[in-house]
């Protein structure tokens, strides 16, 4: 494990390790990221108090990356629940939420013949210190639990859960899909998905076997969405 105080991005460090031939299983953890990033090139705020880490994988060339994203989401969700007595959900494609607010983000990037899995969990970062537009959508384990949470405990739980779900993903076990679907807070809600392709709006009908979102358009046609940024326009029961 590589532990760093302040770094630009743990994903970039893990990518450099991949380029240097470091074997699968390397983990990079930082106290602060100054250039953390999320989906679609967005800035991911990563101040002191959060768990910012990246894992280096070397999966077979034809691995199902869509299912890997699901496996990572389930692992992070279980790790949070093992640390604080709270029920989590997963919002497609891979945001772990407490209620309606995001507590964890995941970014998976290719790195030559390797894959880098970046995970950011807001453990103790005060939401009131975040920019207003972020604070309106985010939470922390500290805020949700009502007390500070030990970051190392979260890290140990995350690595333990990830090892299990990575093994099931590698084996092609459908348990990954089943576990993700049980935590899906997107299904049967009205959603909008933006980028990288045309905007898609309709009713989320869960994910297919590859992890792509199925959206029922107003015409009744099912649109398959592989990537994008999702906004829920309703909650279950409104549709």
pLDDT at 239: 52
Count of Cβ atoms closer than 10 Å to residue 15 Cβ:
21
Tell me phi and psi for residue 214, to 5 degrees. Answer: -100, 120
What is the C-alpha separation between 133 and 131, in angstroms, rounded? 6
What is the C-alpha separation between 105 and 122, in angstroms, rounded? 9
pLDDT at 9: 93
The residues with which 207 forms a beta bridge, in sequence order, are: 213
Please report how many Cα atoms fall inside a 13 Å half-sphere around the Cα of residue 219, on the Cβ side.
4
CA quadruple 160, 166, 168, 174: dihedral sign:
positive
pLDDT at 42: 61
The residues with which 7 forms a beta bridge, in sequence order, are: 33
**Each residue of 42-82: pLDDT tens digit?**
656 678 899 999 999 998 866 777 899 999 999 999 999 99
pLDDT at 39: 58
Query: Quick check: 148 and 142 in contact, CB under 8 A?
Result: yes
Environment class of residue 48 by beta-carbon count within 10 Å: exposed (0-12), middle (13-18) or buried (19+)?
A: exposed
Question: Per residue of the chain (239 residues), what is the pLDDT tens digit?
Answer: 999 999 999 999 999 999 999 999 999 999 998 876 655 556 566 788 999 999 999 988 667 778 999 999 999 999 999 999 899 999 999 899 998 899 999 999 988 789 999 999 999 988 777 767 777 788 999 999 999 999 999 999 999 999 999 999 999 999 999 999 999 999 999 999 997 888 999 999 999 999 999 999 999 999 999 988 888 887 665 65
Computed on alpha carbons and rounded to an integer, the radius of gyration of the chain in Å comes to 17
Closest of 102, 111, 13, 113 to residue 53, by C-alpha: 13
The whole model's pTM is what? 0.91
Count of Cβ atoms closer than 10 Å to residue 206 Cβ:
15
In 3-state terms, what secondary structure has residue 55?
strand
């Amino acid at each position: 494990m590589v532990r760093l105080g302040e770094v630009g991005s743990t994903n970039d460090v893990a990518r450099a390790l991949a380029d240097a031939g470091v074997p699968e299983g390397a983990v990079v953890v930082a106290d602060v990221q100054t250039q953390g990033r999320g989906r679609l090139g967005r800035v991911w705020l990563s101040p002191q108090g959060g768990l910012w880490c990246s894992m280096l994988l070397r999966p077979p060339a034809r691995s199902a990356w869509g299912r890997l994203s699901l496996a990572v989401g389930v692992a992070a969700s279980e790790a949070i629940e093992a640390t604080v007595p709270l029920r989590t959900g997963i919002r497609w494609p891979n945001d772990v939420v407490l209620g309606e607010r995001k507590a964890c983000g995941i970014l998976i990037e290719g790195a030559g013949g390797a894959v880098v899995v970046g995970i950011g969990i807001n453990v103790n970062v005060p939401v009131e210190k975040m920019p207003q537009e972020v604070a309106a959508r985010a939470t922390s384990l500290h805020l949700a639990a009502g007390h500070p949470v030990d970051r190392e405990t979260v890290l140990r739980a995350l690595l333990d859960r990830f090892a299990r779900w990575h093994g099931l993903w590698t084996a092609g076990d459908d348990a990954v899909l089943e576990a993700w679907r049980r935590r899906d807070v997107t299904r049967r809600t009205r959603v909008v998905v933006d980028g990288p392709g045309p905007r898609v709006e309709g009713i989320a009908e869960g994910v297919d076997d590859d992890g792509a979102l199925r959206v029922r358009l107003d015409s009744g046609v099912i649109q398959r969405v592989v990537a994008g940024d999702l906004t829920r326009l309703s909650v279950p029961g409104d549709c």
